[in-house]
Structure formats: C-alpha cells, structure tokens
Amino acid sequence: MGSLQGLALLVSLLVCGLSAWSAPAGVAAETPLEAFEGWMRRNGKSYKNVTERLYRLGVFRKNLKYVEEFLHGRPRSYTIGLNSFADLTNAEFRAIYSRPMENRTRATAFRHAGVTPPSSVDWRQKGAVNAVKNQGQCGSCWSFSAVASIEGINQITTGNLLSLSEQELIDCDYSNSGCDGGFVDYAFQFVVSNGGITTEANYPYYGLQYNCDYTALSSNAVSILGYEDVPRCDEQSLMKAVAIQPVSVAIEASGSDFQLYTGGIYNGPCGTNLDHAVNIVGYGTDDSTGTDYWIVRNSWGATWGDQGYILMAKDVSDPQGTCGIALQPSYPIMN
C-alpha cells in the first residue's frame, strides 16, 4: 500500500465511528485523530510504517475510551489519562514493564525500630533524590530501585548527591537477570561484595545488557556496608524506615489504571503479585481528605504519572499494603 493510500485509509477509518466517541477532559474539542497526533508530538512518538501507525491509533482510541469511562464513573482518589503509555495495550505494557518478582525476605535486624517518625517526610525536598530516570524497555526496575536507595543514603550520610550506575548492576551482577528482572536485595549484596558502585557518568545506561565493563566496575564511587529488610506487612515499621532514608519496595504495577495513572492517591485496583521495584521517598497526608499516602518514585521517566511519581494509599486495611508495598521493603546501610 502506498503512503498516500495508507494515510487516506487512516483518515477514513477514523471518520467512521467518530460520532460514537466523546473525548475526555483536555481533548474535548479534538477528534481521536487530532488527539493522537497531538499526543505523538508531545511524546516524541513515530512509527515505522502506516500499518503500525494504524494499529497504535486503534490502541490509543481504546485507551481514550477507557479514560473517558473512568472520568464519567464514580469519583476516585486518583486520575488516569493519555500518558506516554497510551499507545500500548495493557498486555503489551505488562510484557515490557512487568517482571514476576520473588516474594521473599530474609530475617534481619531492624535498626529503625525505635524511631519516632514525623508526620510527613519528603526526601526530594532534602536533596536526597535525583531526577526521575527512565529504564526504557529493559526490565531493570530492580537496578533503578537499588541505585536510588544507595544514592539517597549516600547523600544523607555525606551530603553529596551522586548519580550512580544502573548499567553496572545490569551487566555485572550475575545473581540477577539484567533486563529480564532481578531482586533488589541481590543488587545490594553485589554492591557490598564488589566494594561499591561507580557513577552513571563512568558507566552510562544503555537500556540493554552487555558484557561487564571490568574497568568501570573497579572505579567505585560509593560503598555500602550491607542492607536490611523492613519487617513485612508492617506499614508502621516501613514509615520508620522511610523517616530515615529512601526505601526500596516491590509492588504490583501491571494494571490498566497504574499504566495510565496521572495523579492523585492511588488505592487500586491492584493485587499483590509483585512485578515492579520502585522507591518510597516520603509520605504525608492529604489536607483535604485526610488520606495518608506514600510518595513513590518510579523509573518510567517524567512523562509517566505525576512527573514520574505516584502517591500510593498508606495505612490501608490490608497489612500487605496497597499493591503489596509492605511485602518486600529493604534499604542499604552505610554506617
């Protein structure tokens, strides 16, 4: 099919059925085609041919309808929208961004048990959190979570916020599986055994797994003494830990609402089949509703969620926490 014929087909397919759609807030005056083209421009998206573009347009329209139905449904504490994942089906999203994670913790001491936590904490405001990073289509969330926690405790301990290397863990930590997933505690143990971890500038991120660069591997910038697991199913203990430093956690993050999340306090739908590692960098309470929340830093870039972050409901009735957030928390130790 020629490119002009393909574009004509694209337009004709869009026009058919336009009357059946009413766009959600923010795109009310646009047709689905106009909304899609605007979304492509904002997100820097392009497709290899007309067939792929048509397919992605169809997916986008289905997600647009899903967003519309969400907005017209019962009031929620969070919002969804046409974010950077709006051209992916949920099955595609799961295949790219979720990896089943072992639900395990080891028995460790919990050094923060005696902490009296303040009512709110935000480590971003204290300078202990780098700008949100983007793992791309590599299943390396475990490395981003581990690195962010090490970056945080290093800044808290030394006053220096360094950007450390996720790629070193992907390439050189053979206890994990690179872009096919991993376990944060194994990453912490690798850093302990290696005597430290180098900077992102020295070992930059490529979003693919390569052979280990042993020269960069030996140029350690930050070292840790060990790591501890927070007592599982205990949000009060988790709060104590976060009051002291950013904490790595695992969650179930594969649902459609999580995929398209844009803001507010997320309270589900989700289960506890852990498939994604993130970081808690603070907590607080919504002034208008009194709802407690965790401040969670993701690794899907700043165009997802609320500038790369999600607020997740805290102190919920399920002891496992929202999306299993209290099942597998851990943090590195520097002193």
Q: Which of 141, 172, 270, 323 is catalytic?
A: 141
Q: Return d(Cα 185, Cα 149) in angstroms, integer.
A: 11
141 part of the active site: yes
The residue type of 107 is A
Q: Which of 90, 276, 279, 323 is catalytic?
A: 276
The closest alpha carbon to 192, from 216, 228, 162, belongs to: 228
Label residues 280-304 b or e (16+ Cβ within 10 Å = b). Answer: bbbbbeeeeeebbbbbbbbbbbeeb
Helix (H, G, I), strand (E, B) or coil at 304: coil
- 73-to-61, 94, 323 alpha-carbon distances in Å: 18, 25, 22
Tokens, residue 219: 């140029």
Tokens, residue 92: 């595609």
Q: Which of 90, 130, 176, 298 is catalytic?
A: 298
Residue carrying structure tokens 């053979």: 174
The residue type of 201 is A
298 part of the active site: yes
16 part of the active site: no
Beta bridge partners of 78: 264
Residue carrying structure tokens 């430290």: 196
Q: Return d(Cα 4, Cα 188) in angstroms, integer.
A: 54
- 257-to-39, 69, 235 alpha-carbon distances in Å: 18, 12, 23
- Which residues are part of the catalytic machinery? 141, 276, 298
